[in-house]
Amino acid sequence: MARLPAPGSVIVPDWHETAEGKEYLACILRKNRRRVFGLLERPVLPPPVAIDTASYKIFVSGKSGVGKTALVAKLAGLEVPVVHHETTGIQTTVVFWPAKLQASDRVVMFRFEFWDCGESALKKFDHMLPACQEKTDAFLFLFSFTDRASFEDLPGQLARVAGEAPGVVRLVIGSKFDQYMHTDVPERDLTAFRQAWELPLLRVKSVPGRRLADGRTLDGRAGLADIAHVLNGLAEQLWHQDQVAAGLLPNPPEDPPS
Amino acid sequence: MFGQNLEVQLSSAKTEDTTVVWKSFHDSITLIVLSSEEGTSELRLERLLQMVFGAMVLLVGLEELTNIRNVERLKKELRASYRLIDSFLGDSELIGDLTQCVDCVVPPEGSLLQEALSGFAEAAGTAFVSLVVSGRVVAATESWWRLGMPEAVLLPWLVGSLPPQAARDYPVYLPHGSPTVPHRLLTLTLLPGLELCLLCGPRPPLSQLDAQLLERWWQPLLDPLRACLPLGSRALPAGFPLHTDILGLLLLHLELKRCLFTVEPSGDKEPSSEQRRRLFRSFYTLVTATHFAPEPGQPEEKAEEVVHRAQVPRACYLVLGAEEPGTGWRLVALQLGPRRLLLLLSAQSPTHGLRGLATHTLHALTPLL
């Protein structure tokens, strides 16, 4: 397994807050609202600029109710459903994210296609899990800080869902991190998990999205600031994995067991 | 319930301000609805129950509902249908739940879209494809149009009620066509609000409907597709000539089971869109239950009667809220053959001209539906 890139080593972190970054972000924002793109559309940059698009398929996995659909909605800048309705089948959401590479100073447009499926649908219908696993570039494993069982389920998820896919990025995300008063997953357990599995782990808060002055429309810019670290983290892992697969980076031998 | 023991069928009850209607399905599920809404009719509530049961079958399957092994598990599974059922209880812009005709819109460049749809259907390997904007059907393949009730109404309605997603692969059971064997409903959002819907068996997998396939068939039609986006509430192509007195129209083709519905004309005038929709629902119920009953295709009718009826246009009108002459909304209904047109007209519209106006409008709309 390739060594994980150090955070911020592949993608320039906080670049989206620089003047240059904000200019690029304008292609996915319009007046502080996140733009929604249909499948026939893509973000348009001003004419002289032409950047490459890197497309990735990401499967979001986790116990029912842990917040998969909500996380994807947050990443896409869409309304997070207030009431939990278990996802009926497979749903996909596309998120565009311009990011700057450290090595070449080049800006790349990342196109993330998140696949999300309800747990009972996965169990009931045979075709769904293979459809989600097929040609996936990354698995996102979600647990909730307020649901111990979802954290303990992670090894099982990892085996069941990503077991036979070496070379595919695996990332763990803990949601509802804001509810630290009720957390069922203390820091030491996270550390132990990290050491055992050597997987990148990110945390996301599950607070309601901020609104614009009208009180109704979601503030797209503020929303992006909340989850930029996830999109950057994902971009980083995926870009790094691509480089390794292309033979552009050395693949170090396995670490000796500690 | 008492009645059943005595072999009496009681289907509804009314108090001063509430109507209760119930219906039993497959000897297994009984649905009861109570309504205190002013002017609610039994017809509306009965059709509501049919839609609700249809929604339950759509998402859970008939087997689970008739062969209940674990009630708690069924209750959990039925939660998947709550959002759809809620949409029947609220003020929807669609009217197919009541009319049992699919809400449609008329696109500009319809034949272009139709051609692309057929080509895409073949490439995707399924006969059932449609283009849906805000829950209304813009264009569809022959096979899709032949879907039975209630799925013909439920599928676009479901798609219109879901939060936005780029693509979906949802298992659905067709209450009429396939209540126990699930099909896959695939949806692809071409443009925000405009979705391509496919009804498939095990193939094709969602991944096969990729960017390349979409680009090949739909990118060249980007402009006609964009032109469909405002059609949701308008239903008719921009510039379609409608008399200025018309505040709303509902055109039903009772054989094709499709309808056009809009309350957008002269939208800046009273009454509000919500009020107009309510007026149409009440008027439709009145017209259907009282004046124009029964609808064509009833098996009891003799052939001669049907022919006779088809040739004689029938009309009725209603003036609401007329405290003085020249005030009050006018509602007029006209039936000619399989087409039934309901119009809402402003208070200015002279009552003696209503039938003429309706006839003229119906003739103008006939080529569209």
User: What is the least distance, in Å, from the CA of A69 to any CA of chain B?
Assistant: 10
CA distances from B208 to B190, B205, B212, B255, B275 (A): 15, 6, 9, 36, 45
Shortest alpha-carbon distance between residue B232 and chain A (Å): 17
**CA distance linking residue B296 with residue B80, whole number of Å:** 35
What percent of chain A has a predicted confidence (pLDDT) above 90?
36
Q: Do A40 and B225 touch (CB under 8 A)?
A: yes
d(CA B139, CA B128): 11
Ranges A198-207, B73-82, B111-120, B338-347: which has the least confidence: A198-207
Please say whether the beta carbons of A43 and A53 come within 8 A.
no
Q: How confident is the model at residue A51 (pLDDT cuts 50, 70, 90)?
A: confident
pLDDT at res. B302:
46
Measured on CA atoms in the order A9, A10, A12, A13, is the torsion positive or negative?
negative
Using the beta-carbon criterion (under 8 Å), do A127 and B190 form an inter-chain contact?
A: no
Which of B284, B262, B263, B260 lies closest to B273, judged by CA?
B263
Task: Provide CB contacts within 8 A for A156, sequence distance 6+.
Answer: none
- Can you tell me the distance from the alpha carbon of B85 to that of B344, in angstroms, rounded to the nearest whole number? 28
Coil, strand or helix: which one is B343? strand
Residues of chain A with Cβ-Cβ distance to B214 below 8 Å are 39-40
Residue B324 has pLDDT above 70, yes or no: no
State whether residue B192 sits within 8 Å of chain A by CB.
Answer: yes
pLDDT at A103: 86
Nearest to B163 among A78, A128, A135 (CB): A78
Are residues A127 and B200 in contact, defined by beta-carbon separation less than 8 angstroms?
Answer: no
**Which helix (H) or strand (E) covers residue B357, if one does?**
helix B354-365
CB contact under 8 A, A135 and B218: no
The CA distance from B358 to B369, in Å, is 16
Q: What pLDDT, on the 0 to 100 scale, is given for residue B349? A: 85
B190–chain A Cβ distance below 8 A for any pair: yes
Question: Rounded CA gap, A199 and A3, in Å?
Answer: 10
Q: Which of B83, B171, B188 sits opposite A121 (nearest CB)?
A: B171
Please give the distance of CA A115 from its chain centroid, rounded to a whole number: 11
**Other beta carbons less than 10 A from residue B141's beta carbon:** 21
Facing B163 at nearest CB: one of A81, A86, A124: A81
> What pLDDT does A84 receive?
79
Confirm if B364 and B357 have CB atoms less than 8 A apart: no
Q: What is the rounded distance in angstroms from the CA atom of residue B154 to the CA atom of residue B176? A: 11
pTM: 0.90
* Cβ contacts of A89 on chain B, cutoff 8 Å: 168-171, 184-185
pLDDT of the residue at A251: 57
Structure tokens at B367: 């080529």
Quick one: pLDDT at residue B307?
Answer: 46
- Give the residue from B7, B175, B186 showing the smallest Cα distance to A88: B186
Which SS3 state, helix, strand or coil, does residue B261 take? strand
Angle at CA of residue B244, ends B315 and B363, nearest 5°: 45
d(CA A61, CA A119): 9
Q: Which of B70, B74, B170, B190 should be substituted to probe chain A, the one whose Cβ sees the most A Cβ atoms within 10 Å?
A: B170
List the single residue in B with minimal CA-CA distance to A120. Answer: B77
> Do residues A119 and A132 touch, judged by C-beta distance below 8 A?
no
Amino acid A245: pLDDT: 85
Flag if B214 and A92 touch (Cβ within 8 Å): no
Lowest mean pLDDT among A7-21, A30-44, B46-60: A7-21
- Higher pLDDT: B321 or A188? It is A188
Higher pLDDT, B126 or A159: B126
Mutate which: A88, A117, A122, vs B, most B CBs within 10 A: A88
Percentage of the residues of chain B whose pLDDT score is greater than 70: 90
DSSP 8-state class, residue B163: P
Q: What is the mean pLDDT of chain A?
A: 87
Q: Which of A41, A88, A128 sits opposite B59 (nearest CB)?
A: A88
Q: Do A134 and B211 touch (CB under 8 A)?
A: no
**Residue A39 distance to chain B (closest CA, Å):** 5
**Share of residues in chain A with pLDDT > 70 (%):** 95
Distance of CA B116 to the CA centre of its chain: 24
**pLDDT tops 70 at residue A220:** yes
Tell me which residue of B112, B183, B114, B123 sits closest to B147, measured CA to CA. B183
CB contact under 8 A, A40 and B191: yes
Contact status of B311 with chain A (Cβ, < 8 Å): no
3-state helix, strand, coil split of chain B in percent (to 5) is: 40, 25, 35
Instruction: Write a three-state SS string for chain A.
Output: CCCCCCCCCCECCCHHHCHHHHHHHCCCEECCEECCCCCCCCCCCCCCCCCCEEEEEEEEECCCCCCHHHHHHHHHCCCCCCCCCCCCCEEEEEEEEEEEECCCCCEEEEEEEEEEECHHHHHHCCCHHHHHHCCCCEEEEEEECCCHHHHHCHHHHHHHHHCCCCCCEEEEEEECCCCHHHCCCCHHHHHHHHHHHCCCEEECCCCCCCECCCCCCECHHHHHHHHHHHHHHHHHHHHHHHHHHCCCCCCCCCCCCC
Residue B299: the pLDDT is 47
**What pLDDT, on the 0 to 100 scale, is given for residue B343?**
95
B164 CB near a chain A CB, below 8 Å? yes
H or E element, residue B86: helix B82-89
Distance separating alpha carbons of residues B315 and B333, to the nearest angstrom: 5
Position B272: which residue type?
S
CA distance B312 to B142: 30
ipTM above 0.95, yes or no: no
**Residue contacts between A and B (CB atoms, under 8 Å):** 78
Neighbours of B81 (CB within 10 A): 21
What is the predicted pLDDT for the residue at B352?
Answer: 86
CA nearest to B76 within chain A: A86
Please check whether residue B165 is in contact with residue B186, taking contact to mean a CB–CB distance below 8 angstroms: no
Q: In sequence order, what are the beta bridge partners of A117? A: A90
**B278 reaches A (C-beta below 8 A):** no
Least-confidence region, from A113-117, A224-228, B171-175, B286-290: B286-290
- State the pLDDT at residue B3: 57
| Shortest CA gap A41–chain B (Å) | 7
**B296-316 tens-digit pLDDT:** 554 444 444 544 444 556 888
CA distance A140 to chain B (A): 18
Residue B57 has pLDDT above 90, yes or no: yes
Residues in B closer than 8 angstroms to A121, CB to CB, are 171
The whole-number pLDDT of residue B300 equals 45
Instruction: Provide the pLDDT for residue B104.
Output: 96
Mean pLDDT, residues A95-119? 92
Sign (positive or negative) of CA dihedral B86, B91, B93, B97:
positive
Cross-chain residue pair A88–B189, CB shorter than 8 Å = no
What pLDDT, in 10s, does the model give residues B174-190?
Answer: 999 999 999 999 999 99
Report the alpha-carbon distance of residue B171 to residue B228 in Å, rounded. 27
Is pLDDT of A4 > 80?
A: no
Specify the pLDDT at position B296. 53
> Which of B154, B161, B207, B213 is most worth mutating to test chain A (most A CB atoms within 10 A of its CB)?
B207
CA distance A228 to A97: 9
Please report which confidence band the pLDDT of residue A107 belongs to, taking 50, 70 and 90 as the band edges: very high
Neighbours of A110 (CB within 10 A): 21
Angle B151-161/B82-89 helices, nearest 10 degrees?
100
Query: Is it the case that residue A13 has pLDDT exceeding 70?
Result: yes
pLDDT reading at A117 higher than 60: yes
Please give the Cα distance from A145 to A151 (Å, whole number). Answer: 8
* B77, B164, B184 ranked by CB distance to A78: nearest: B164
Kindly state the average pLDDT of the residues B35-53. 88
Please give the DSSP secondary-structure letter assigned to residue B236. S
B121: phi then psi, degrees, rounded to nearest 5: -60, -45
Q: Looking at the complex, does the CB of residue B214 fall below 8 Å from at least one CB of chain A?
A: yes
Which is more confident, A176 or B333?
A: B333
Query: What is the number of residues in chain A?
Result: 258
